[in-house]
Every structure is written in structure tokens, then in C-alpha cells.
Structure 1
Amino acid sequence: MRNKPFLGISGVRCLHLTNEVSQDRHYVVGLIYLLLSLFTAPVFAQNEPRTIQDFNKNWRFHLGDEAKAKDVAFNDSDWRTLTLPHDWSIEGQFSEHHLSTTQEGALPTGIGWYRKAFTVPVSAKGKNVFIEFNGIYRNSEVWINGHSLGIRPYGYSSFRYELTKYLNVGNVKNILAVRVDNSAQPNSRWYTGSGIYRNVRLITTSPIAVDHWGTYVTTPAVTNQNASVTLQTSIRNAFGGRSDGKPQTVSINSVILDATGKEVATSISAAVRLLDTLSTVTQPFEVKNPILWSVDKPYLYKIVTRVYSQNQLVDTYETPLGIRYFKFDPATGFSLNGQSMKILGVCLHHDLGALGAAVNVRAIQRQLELLKAMGCNAVRTSHNPPTPEFLDLCDQMGFIVMDEAFDMWKKKKTKQDYGLNWDAWHKTDLEDMVRRDRNHPSIFMWSIGNEIREQFDSTGLTITKELAGIVKKLDSTRPVTSALTENVPEKNFIYRSGVLDLLGFNYKHEAYADFPKTFPNQSVLASETGSSLQTRGHYDMPSDSIRMWGKGGPTKFTDGNPDWTASAYDNEAAYWGSTHEQTWKVIKKYPHMAGLFIWTGFDYLGEPHPYPWPARSSYFGILDLAGFPKDVYYLYQSEWTDKPVLHLFPHWNWPKGKTVDVWAYYSQADEVELFLNEKSLGVRKKTGDELHVMWRVPYEPGTLKAISRKAGQTILTQTISTAGKPAKIQLVADRNILKADGKDLSFITVNVLDEQDNLIPDASHLITFNIQGEGELVGVDNGYQASLEPFKANYRKAYNGKCLAIIQTTEKAGKITVNATSEGLQSSTIELSSR
């Protein structure tokens, strides 16, 4: 299967009943069911056979253990009231006391309790009620009315529990209690967050309904003229197959709607007998002239499935649907819908900077928007299943996703990590990830692990075969891969298992050219590259020598800068990695390399290599923790997009007479000419495989100007002027019109400027924020990896001229006024509106 196209549809949750049902024989019966549904639809819609309730509001929270908090009678009146998702770690103060290792971000962990009181209407009697958690970090146990529902150790898994038999219906309160234990440290190599950090829902269904993650959609054959679609649906039957002594019989009607709501295909399965608590049905469709999902045009259809029992609508289920086909080829790399393309990806951890691990859809969307503008078309979820909302956005925005399950298997990487839970939980957690995610069109490959230690001994053979088998049983439409560090075939037992469809290799870019010989007839990609180190706005010279931290280079933080910075020129990297230019040149050159995933898209909390405390976040990102682009962002924009690019750096404030290395990234042009105070410093052209041009310039105050030209015609001009004294604050909102839903965000960039609106490149003023109206300040940051200021505050120091304020709406529409002040600077005010 390695060299065949992978055909699949993503984003469908439907029904799945394995009865040998002849569609022709039951067509008339099915038509009767369909007509009944048309005549009775308004009545059945009022009955709401399936309800999905946002269950995030009005939770009580307590940080610390309470042995009796699971009890219904426990008094939680003095606990804090909050809305989920919630990460209690991000609310804490950075402290050396919170360091169990140097990798986790220096924020508090511990044990926390959540409780929620709620009532269930009488109309729910006779129905089935479930609580769904998208993720709890970690070691969670859930109780309803004092009854334990179960535990989940893995902090990244989504799961649900049935509440039905323990619920009070009517005006009697129910108490849901959740204990979260993130006290055993270290259990990760990066910042995880703590708590119920993903969304929660209450689901009410009829006794006969689509099961949890109960659909599976594939596209066995796709052309521009026709797409064959197969939908399998799992039906959960709480009656156990019989009711009143009679077998249960259902009819299933599924329709595919295009983006305008027009019906493009229908499939009816009539008189399907439910012989057990879980049954499956398969429904075929043909979509004529399909609009294919792609990274440039991520077109989504929608499948609506209706289940009828005894002429009554008992369930309705909607699912987004993407139609596409793709292929990994050992010689030519990757193609999507028959067109060759490179996978231009980044790795992302799940934290959202100042917001921590607490999921916010707009914050994720902003990250993806910034990456899309850079030319990125793919994301690897490092190194765990993401939140479902992330995958929804990738479906909608056009990103290829490597969905990754584990950072370790049975052999641990830290003392208290998932290796302790491997034997009991790995099968369940992997199955749940694949079932949950397999209908997303954005997912193109499953990764069963990252830099797994079992690759070095024979245990890797057995475990790899088991995990690949679990995935293939649930989804055969996508390749299975693992991110490998060892590229010597005899030494790599995961590779030697022979079950990986796609080989992903981390780092060691020098070996890429020889992969067709080293791994003949194997499709390959660079699953992790880079680990280049930069601090936004900081520049060390000379810039034309590469500094590798670790083996063969500096090994102690005292060998670096006293302010814990790394140079923003692309010339520093961890010893195991490479600079951005070094790696991209190789990927770009060789067609057998399907693509790459750069470590990382954004800086993230934890892993502050190469510095120890007080550094507390990574230096690897193309964008910093606040989401401000580092200079290398424009390298990728010049290489990965068709837009004209001209980016000149560094700033132009230096000691007089200092020799400054001036770099430019450019595209859609033949050359760049540099001027200092209108005097030409010469023309530079990229030659060979060069990705930037450079001038070495003795500093004098004034203005640098770069002009890019093609065939003698000016394409772009950029100027950088020497900044004067700091004079004022500028506020720039990424969005001024917001939704009044209590969740929407505006990310406000704060710039410190002189009188001529030049950014002060070393400004570190303390900025204080005052918010009036229907919004609140939920986070502040400046992107500096060693800043120990709290993220939850009404102030932030600028770093190299910039900082960030994150404003969240309330549920009341109205004006939001943001005022920023600082001693010695002209204040600034910006007005937002929520609707």
C-alpha cells in the first residue's frame, strides 16, 4: 500500500451497522420512511432527539486536595467559580521552586478539584445522558452524585462517561466532581498546563442513537468527475436489541450537502435490525463533479444523518466532509489530488502562550492565520493528540496534519510520565484518538510516536506492529509513521518492524540525499527539523558563522549572553539540529523528500535550551511566544509563497562606527540594492542555493533603504530609520469587531515609538493597561524567553520595543476601551466593539 494513493474523506460522524441489507429489496420501505420524515419533520425537530449542551459554565474550583469533595453533601461555597476551559498552572507565578526539571516552564502544578451542580429536565427521562471531556491534564477521576465513573491518566485523550443511571431528573440537583492530579513531576518534557483545559459537553440522546465517534467515511475512488463515498455508522441501542419482546428495526437516511446547503447525494438504509447493543450499517454515495479539498481551497461538504425507529426520528447527526486523494511516492515525494507539492510544515505544542493550555478557538485560529501567511501548509501535533477544535480549524483553513499519539511508549523519558500507564492504557488511548479524528480531511498521516526509545532494541519490533495494527484496523486510508531519530536501518527496530507506510526522520539533514539508497522504495519525510535558536530583535555579530550549542560548541549557559538571548540572525542551533537555511536547502533540492516539519512554529513554554532558569520558554519558534514574527519568518514567506517579499534587518540603532551585518530576504525579484542615507552600498543577488543576501556596513545614523528589482523594475522598497527618543505608545488590534460570546479575543500589539513613528528597538518600558466596557484583559506577554512577569496581570514590560495585551469579550455586546500608559510616554487608547 505504500506506493498507492491514500483515498479518504475526513470530518464525518455518522452511523455504522453491519447487517447484510439489500438496498434494492428495501427501497420501497425506505422511501416510506423518508416520506414520513418529511411530513413529520417539524414535530420531531421539536422533540430534539439529540441535544449538545455547552457544559463549561459555573464550575467551582479549588487548588489543593479535598478528600470528601466527591461527596454530594460537600460544601464548596467558598470555592472559586469559573468557566472552562481552565489551566490553573498559567495563573501562577514563575518560580525556581516549581522546577522539577529545567523543561517544564517553572509554573505550579499540584492537585485540583472541580465541582458542578446542575439539573436535568424531566424531558430527559427515558433518554441517555453523557458527559464528554475533550481533555484533562492529568490523572483525572470523575464522580456523579458520589459514584465514580472512571479514571483517565493520559492528559491528552478525549473521553466520555454515561451518567444516566445515576442522575436525578427534575428539580433535584446533580453534583459532578472531577479530581485532577498533576502533582507527580516531572511527567513531561514541556509545559503541559493543569486542569480541565479543554471543552466539556453534556450530550443527551435517545436510547437508539449514533454511537460516540460513531461514523467512518472513506472515498474509495475519486476523480474530478466523480467521487465514491462510503459511510459506516455505528448505532448504539440501549434496549440491547429488543424492546417489548420485539427486535428493534431502524431506517437510516443520510444526505450529503454542499457548502450552499444543496443536496448532492442521498443514501437510505431501510428496515435495519439492531441485533445487539452496537450494530453497523454501510451506506454508499456517489458525488458528481466533486469540489476537492486542498490546502488552497479547503472545500467542505456536510453529511446529515437521520435515524428513524417506529416512524419516529430518534437521532440526527451532522458531519463536515472533505473529499480528496493523495499519494506518497519514494521517488517523487507527495502529491495531493494528483498535483505534486511539498509538505511545508511546522511542529506545534499545545500551549497558547499567555493563555497557557486552556483551549481558545480564536487563539488557535490566530496561530494558524500567521502560519498560513508565512506559506505554511502543514502542522505536526507534537507530541500528542490535539484538541478537536484545532482539527476543525485545519479542515476549514487548509492544513495538512500529522496526528501524533505519544512522546514515549513503555520506556520513560521522565520519571513520572506516561510510560507508567503504558501497559494499561495505550490501546484505549490510541483507539480513541483514531476514532475521534479519522474523519478530518486535514489529517494525512498517523504518527504512533516521537523519538521512541524502543527504536534502539527489539522491543520496538513488537510494539510497533501492535500500534500500527490498532491504527490500520480503525483506518486504512492513511499511512502510519513514527518520528525516528535513528536513520541507520540495522539499528532502528521501529523501521525494521516493516509496518510503517511512511518513514519520518528527525534532524540529521546531511543524510537526506542518500535516503533512496539507504531506504530503497520507501517514502520519506523530515518529521522534525531545525531546533534553530533566536530571540526576537536581538542580534549578535558577526553573523556569517554558525554557532551550534552543545557538542562541538558552547556547552554552558555562561558561554552565551548574560541576558539569556540568542541571535535573531539564522546562525544558532542546538547541537542536534541545524539552521533554517541549512535544512530547507536540502528539502527544497531533493524531490524524494515529501516535506518537512520545522521545530517549531511558535516558541512554547518549557524546554528553554540552551539556557537554564530563569529562561522558562523555548527559543526554537519561527514566531515568539507572543506571536510576533522573528526575522526568519520572512525567509519562509519568501520561499513558500508567491507574494513579493522584501525584509531588511536588523534595526538601525547602533554605537557609532560599529560594523553591522545587514541581511535581506527577498522574492519575486532578481536583486536588492542597499542605500545608507541615499548612498548606494551596492547590489546583491542570490547565487547558487543562497537564501539571503548580506552587506557589512559601518554604522552611521540615518536611514537604510533597500530596493528589490526584477528586470530593472522596482518590486518593493523598505526603509529602516534610526529611532530617536521614546515618545509614545501605539496600540494595534488584530481585530476590532468581536463576538459577544465570552470567548472571542483581540490580540493588541503594543509598540513603543519615537515622534516619527519609528519603533524603539531596545525599549523596555513598563506598560500598564486599563480596560473599560464589555471586555477583560486575559493575558499579557512580550515574547522574551526569560521574562518572569506573570501572564495574568494588568502590566507588562516591552521587550525590544513590543509587548502584547489579549482582550476577551463578555457575553454582553458593547464597547471595549483599552488604554495603555507608561511613565514618560504619550498614552494610547483603542476602542473595540463586540456584537
Structure 2
Amino acid sequence: MHTIESKKLGYISKFGFCLLFFTLFSNSSVQSQETKNPRERENFDFNWQFHKGDIAMKLVVRVGQGGITDINVPVISKKDTIIDYTNAESSKALNPPDWKEVNLPHDWVVEGTFVNDNTLGSQPAGSGYLPTGIGFYRKEFEIPETDKGKKISIEFDGIFRNSTVWVNGHLLGNHQSGYTPSNYDLTDVLRYGNEGKNAIMVKVDATQPEGWWYEGAGIYRHVWIIKTDRLHVARFGTYVTTPEITDAKATVIIKTTLKNEYKTAKTITLVSNIVDKKGTVLDTKTSTQSIAPYYPVEISQEGLIQKPKLWSPKTPNLYKVLTEVVENGKVIDTYETTFGVRTFEVNKNGVFLNGNLCPVKGTCNHQDFAGIGVALPDKINYYKLKLLKEVGSNAYRCSHHPPTPELLDMCDSMGIMVLDENRHLSSSEENLRDLETMLYRDRNHPSIFMWSMENEEAIQGTVMGARILETMVETAHRIDPTRKVTAAMNHARNDGGYADVLDVVGYNYGDKQLAYVKDKEAHPDRVMFCTEGTSFVSTRGEYVNSWWPQTCSNSILWQPDWGPYPGEDWADIVKYPYLGGHFVWTGFDYRGEPTPFWWPSVSSQFGFMDVCGFPKDGYYAYKAAWGNEPVVHIF
């Protein structure tokens, strides 16, 4: 789902970032420019304080006792004071020299010193030899008196990881995942106007990993303060689909979930305007309904687009649903949902977009970049996607977790298909909640063509694994019945009934002994897709394989032994179109996994571009295979 409120647009404009490219149209033709949007989404990235290291804290059994989680904390003014942060009393005072000012997104790990320690991370060298640890973020802020009576929440797009949040001394909760967003209702615990200032503190404990690559640590994605009426569209509260599409028209089904957090029942009118990129209203649907107190309700509406412009990589046409919640003639909430009109079908013959065979020319990518770790400014995400488009790629695999939401917005607008991937194979309550969050947050993005439940889990091909996977697949089908579900399998594809619960069987390195060809012969009705392959290692500008200095040749196969030359993998896609396409491991080098080396190598060399996005020789093989122009490259 993609929601852009006026506050966010102001923030983006003020700081000059290129998301303006993706804000394709405004809603000025529907709402007066002079009317203040009743829903506010304020960027909360700036003027934080950061403390690196743990601070011992006792659980406060009576709130209002102060300390660093609240505003009334004693500030130490004596210079050169040394605080013993292993003592729980240390959390009752603030020593300014121990905190530094930071803006978000922020990754503190990338600022650290490399350490030759193979116990770091989940496997030796996996995290790039950088220690993680624990850190605290703290911020003081004010909320005006005029906001009293509104619902106010805070949305963290991503904190790595195991984050705990306090506001004004109140413990609000904990969120384990480093890849899914977290949200807390602040309404009751805020101070408004003359009541005084507010303080928020976030503890981030990144001592345990979630993956086997560089993951960073900190509040590394954007943070938002969201203010609404007490009767409002719920978080991720719209679902827009286009089940019937012809050249003449497209049916648009709009499902909107509203929450009434008043003490009394409310009668509202829901107005849904379908608009094009110019803001022209194409259809308007109106529904009136009474909503009981403290009760969510879903309202379904059906609209039409005449002569729809389809979304595709070549023509990434977008529409919006502009939602208004009206009570007694007054607009009390608004919401925006970007969507596209297109059909995806992944079947035993390949991937079809809008009825046409559309081979996926994709890359797998981790989210870090160059010297900034995982805390990527929006413009760096745009830069990376732009480089991938230039080589001829039309697809992006979010390896191996849900991405930052801005990246999906960009893929929608740039015409890049997405395989959106869940982090863990698990049917625990917590992990199913993370899966549901990914699905609800992302399901309106037209760029997403399929969901991936997991990557290369050890219990693939087992009976227990199949049970867990089936629960996850059923969850995905319930929340989004429009897309098929896969899992990226690198072994045991024919064991334990595991593949049978998938809509599409994902093949990682299925070119080994032509496993996907043999499986197709044995299972002719199996729907297959190449979720990952290649893994050719190379050092930009080097043509010698050497253990010291640690370099990998751009022209000679070496390590690992499972990867072909760049571009050779695409020959199978051409020969066997039922494979649907391919995701190259990887588009860019990334921190960690320095295969085939160990210390002092700290970065992978799998990418056909290096960590800064400069092409290696393999880049040109894909440019020749994926593009329409002749390519000549001299080594």
C-alpha cells in the first residue's frame, strides 16, 4: 500500500529528494488546496540523540518516576563525568557527552571498526566483521493543544532489531523483527500544549542476527507521526484490485477498513474517487454506513475505469483511489492508495503480464550500499534501481526480507516487477504477524507479481516444513488471493510434500545437473520459476584469481563451484521459457559473505556491479542478453 499525505510531500520537497519523480499527480482536482488535510503524516527523522552501548534499566512498576524514558530527567552538567551504565541507577540521569545528535535513517554498525572475529554474526565473515551491539535513541518533542482529541500514532518503517519503545515513561511495547514496520498508539500517553514536552526512547538490541549477511543496526528506515480523527481509515486499511480488465474497461474493487474509536456509534459516508495521473476523476463511489463504537468495519465498493492504461515495465501507468470519510458534511479523514491495472499469471508455460509472455530479467539484492550500510537515503534506492533498469533488468527480488516501502513506490513508478520475500519460515504467532504485516502493507503495489515465503531454509523437503509452509501459504491466499506464492528452494524439491503446497516452485540454482529440466519431465504440470542463480564472483578490474591479494577474475571461473559465467544462465531461460525468468545473484556487491575469502575481506563479490554501482565485465553480458541494442565489450 502506498499512502502519500501532504506533510510527506512537503518533507520530500523541502529536502529535494527525487521521490518527486514518483509523486505523479496531486489530488488538487478533488480537494481544495486551501482545505487542510484532516490526516497528517509528519516525518519524524530529525533531531534524535543516540547512545551506543547498553544502559541497565529496571522495569518501572509505577509510571511517572522519571529517568531517561521521560522528560523530567536530571541532566548532568559536570564535565568529564563517567557513568557506570551497568548500574540501573544510570538510567535516572542524562549525561549529554554520552549521547550524539543523529538524523534518521541511521546505521551505527557501519561507523564501527572491523574486527577479525569469526563469531560475529550467524556465520563466519557473514556480517562483514563489524560488531553490532545495543544502542538507544532518544528525542524530545512537542504536541500542540489543537491535537488533543485526535488519534496519534508513530510508525517505524524499520528498526534493526529487537526494539523497545517508551514514551513519557510508559513502556509501549517491543518488536523483534528488523524488517517489518512497527506502530504504537501514542494518544493517551502524550502531553498536549501546556501539559509539557514529550520524550520518546527506543532501545535497539542487534546482538542477535536474523540473516547471514550484513544487517546493520539502528533505526535505519523512516519514522512517521500519524494524526487522524478518532474515526479513520485503519492502518494499511485499503485493498484495491482489478479483477476484470478489457480494452474497454477495468473493474476496480475497493475494500476500505474503517475504525470508530469514539464512545458512540457514528454514521459516515465513504467517498472513493478513482483518479488518473493528472488528478482527473474517472469514477466516484459513495457508501453510507453506521459504525458501532470501538468497532472496525470493511466497506466494499465497485468502480470502473474506461479504456484503462495498463501497468507494465515499459508503461508503468498508475492510478489512485482518493478516500474521504465524511460525517455531517465534513471530511474527517482522507487516505490515498496508488494502484495499477494489470494482470499477472505465473503458470506452467512461464510468466505472463497482461496476457503476454514476459520473461523476468531480475536481480537479487540486499539493502546495503557502499559506505552507508543499510540506512539508505531514498535517492540511493532510486540510484540503484536506475542502474538496474539501465542494464535491461525488469525485476527486483527483495533478498531475503520485506524492503523499505519507498523502494516499492519507486518500482511501481519505474516499471520494475518485484518478488517480495518474507524473512522466516515459521508459523509462530509472531512470525505469522510479520508475514501478515508484509502482505497488508504491500498488496496494493502493482509491481509485485508474486510472494516468496522463505529462502533456502534447512527444513525444505520435510513433512514438518511442509506443514509450516502450508499455514503460511494459506495466510497469503487469505490476505491476497490475487497473487501466487513461491519459496526459494535449493534442495529437496521433491521430498516431504513441500513443493506441493506452493503455487509456484522456486528453483535456486536449478541449473545444477539441469534439475529444473528433469523435474519438469517428471512433473509436467508443475509451475516453476528460477528464484536465484549465477553466483559468479569477480573483483572489478581484476583478471587473476588469487588468495593473496584477495582477487577474483572477471574472465575465469573459480570459486564457488556452483556458478556459471554471467549471461550463461539466461540461455536456459531462452531454451526453456516455462522457467519464467531468472533472478541473478546479485545485482550489486554487498557487505558480508566475502566468498571465497575470509578476513580481511569484508564484502561479497557476487554482484555484476560493485558496492558503489560501477559495472564489472559481467554486467555487459546481461546488457547484451536483456537489452535490444548490440553490445561490444572489450576486456
**Corresponding position: 1:614 with 2:600:** yes
Contact persistence 1:508–1:576 (CA under 8 A): no
For the pair 1:134 / 2:157, whether they are aligned, the reply is yes
Q: How does 1:99-498 map to 2 (within 5 A)?
A: 100=120, 101-171=124-194, 172-184=196-208, 187-239=210-262, 242-243=263-264, 247-274=265-292, 276-330=294-348, 332-406=349-423, 408-409=424-425, 423-486=428-491, 488-489=493-494, 491-495=495-499, 498=500
Q: Quote the offset at 1:95 in angstroms.
A: 2.1
User: Take 1:267 and 1:500, find their aligned partners in 2: how far apart are those partners?
Assistant: 37
CA contact (8 A) 2:567 2:625 kept: no
Name the larger-Rg structure.
1
What amino acid is the match of 2:96?
A: S
Q: Using the alignment, how far apart are the partners of 2:42 and 2:330 within structure 1?
A: 23
Matched, 1:62 2:51: yes
String of CA shifts for 1:103-143, please: whole Å, max 9, x gaps.
11111211000001001011101101000000100110000
Structure 1 residue 578, shift from structure 2 partner: 2.9
Say whether residues 1:582 and 2:568 are aligned partners: yes
Q: Distance in 2 between matches of 1:259 and 1:438?
A: 20
Deviation at 1:76, TM superposition (A): 5.1
Equivalent position amino acid for 1:341 in 2: C
Distance in 2, matches of 1:594 and 1:456, equals 22
1:635 aligns with 2:621: yes
SS in 1 for 2:597: coil
Cα offset, 1:571, TM superposition: 2.5
State the Cα distance separating 1:561 from its structure 2 match. 2.9
State the shift of 1:87 in Å.
Answer: 0.2
Residues 41/217 of structure 1: CA separation in 2 closer, same or farther (3 Å cut): closer
CA offset at residue 42 of structure 1?
5.4
Deviation string 1:81-119 (CA, Å, 9 cap, x unpaired) is: 111000001111222148522211111211000001001
Separation in 2 of the partners of 1:44 and 1:276?
32
Contact preservation (8 Å) 2:364, 2:585: yes
Letter of the aligned partner of 2:597 in structure 1?
Answer: Y
TM-score, structure 1 normalization: 0.67
Q: Residue 108 of structure 2 corresponds to which residue in structure 1?
A: 88
Q: Does 1:514 align with 2:518?
A: yes
Deviation at 1:514?
Answer: 2.8
**TM superposition shift of 1:359:** 2.6
Letter of the 2:616 counterpart: K
CA RMSD of aligned residues (A): 2.1
Change (3 A) 1:216 1:311: same
Structure 2 letter corresponding to 1:518: A
| Distance in 1 (alpha carbons) for counterparts of 2:316 and 2:38 | 31
CA distance in 2, matches of 1:573, 1:477: 41
Residues 12 and 217, structure 1, Cα contact 8 Å, conserved in 2? no
**The residue matched to 1:324 in structure 2 has which SS?**
coil
Larger deviation: 573-582 or 498-507?
573-582
Unaligned runs of at least 5 residues, structure 2: 6-27, 58-67, 74-92
Q: Structure 1 residue 401: deviation in Å?
A: 0.5
Aligned-partner SS, 2:341: strand
Q: Deviations over 1:253-286 (max 9, x none)?
A: 1111111111111111124444652111011111
In the alignment, is the contact (CA less than 8 A) between 1:99 and 1:106 conserved in 2?
no
In the superposition, relative to structure 1, how do residues 264 and 12 fare at CA in structure 2: closer, same or farther (>3 Å)? farther
* Contact 1:138–1:195 under 8 Å retained in 2: yes
1:75 and 2:94 are equivalent in the alignment:
yes
User: What is the rounded CA distance, in whole Å, between the counterparts of 1:570 and 1:284 in structure 2?
Assistant: 58
| Contact kept in structure 2, 1:603 and 1:617, CA below 8 Å | yes
AA aligned to 1:370 is L
| 1:646 and 2:632 aligned | yes
Mapped to 2, the partners of 1:466 and 1:160 lie a distance apart of: 25
- 1:707-722 to 2 correspondences below 5 Å: none
Matches within 5 A, 1:7-46: 11=2, 45-46=35-36
| Match of residue 504, structure 2, among 482, 502, 510 | 502
CA shift digits 1:779-830 (9 cap, x unpaired)? xxxxxxxxxxxxxxxxxxxxxxxxxxxxxxxxxxxxxxxxxxxxxxxxxxxx
Corresponding pairs, count: 576
Q: Distance in 2 between matches of 1:536 and 1:465?
A: 43
For the Cα contact (< 8 Å) 1:525–1:596, is it kept in 2? yes
Secondary structure in 2 aligned to 1:572? coil
**CA contact 2:3–2:335 (8 Å) conserved in 1:** no
Q: Could you say if the C-alpha distance between residues 134 and 501 of structure 1 is closer, same or farther in structure 2, counting changes exceeding 3 Å? A: same
Query: Could you tell me how far apart the structure 2 residues matched to 1:190 and 1:492 are?
Result: 29
Per mean C-alpha deviation after superposition, the further-off stretch among 302-311 and 609-618 is 302-311
Q: Under a length normalisation based on structure 2, what TM-score does the superposition of the two structures give?
A: 0.87
Q: Is the Cα–Cα contact under 8 Å of residues 378 and 399 in structure 1 kept in the other structure?
A: yes
Rounded Cα–Cα distance in structure 1 between residues aligned with 2:389 and 2:602 = 27
Counterparts of 1:11 and 1:294 in 2: how far apart (Å)? 18
Quick one: which of 599, 610, 618 aligns to 2:585? 599
Instruction: Note the C-alpha offset of 1:580.
Output: 2.4
Identity %: 40
